[in-house]
Amino acid sequence: MSSDSTNQTGSDPTRTGETTPGTTVTAQPTGGPPVPGEPVAGQPYSVQPTATGAPADDVVTAAPSEPSWVQQHKSLLVAALVAVAVVAAAIGGVAWYRGMVDDRDAATEAAFAQNIAQQGAEVETVDCNGDTCSAVIGGTAYTVLVQEDANGEQHFGVAAFVGD
């Protein structure tokens, strides 16, 4: 037998350095705690301590979290926001157009009332819708057709109202 304790042979498995068939043991340096990353003597595997001091086998790693509802439905949300923007633009466009038409009709009504006043009559009511106006002059209803020439001047054709 050798005097080296790690190379001793015999049948007593409690002695340092001896192994039973099928196991491997690595001797640790004496005089201190086990070195992280080095196998521990007498154990078939090594438990590596973590930064918190818990063995690596006891650390529970969190499963990857599922994407949030917003992440899952991102394309649907983008499509909905685009649709809302388009609808808002359309409503704004319609409101702008209606305001422009109302301003044009008001200008036509004022021009017609001024034209009739120059002829010595007084307009009681006038309501224009595009190139057609309805007017009451001296208690009689009239239909007025409005035509604008190339110079932007308006010409009025007045006819007595015929109908129900």
What are the pLDDT digits (tens) for 26-84?
555 555 666 666 655 665 554 555 555 555 555 555 567 888 888 899 999 999 999 99
Of 112-116, 136-140, 158-162, which range is least confident?
158-162
Three-state DSSP class for 6?
Answer: helix
Please, what is the average pLDDT of the chain?
A: 77
**What is the rounded average pLDDT of the residues 138-155?**
89
| Bridge partner list, 144 | 133, 158
The rounded distance, in Å, linking the Cα atoms of 162 and 31 is 121
Side by side, the strands of the sheet bearing 140-148 are 123-129, 132-137, 140-148, 154-160
Is 108 in contact with 154 (CB distance < 8 Å)? yes
Say if residue 111 is exposed, middle or buried (CB neighbours under 10 Å; 0-12, 13-18, 19+).
Answer: middle
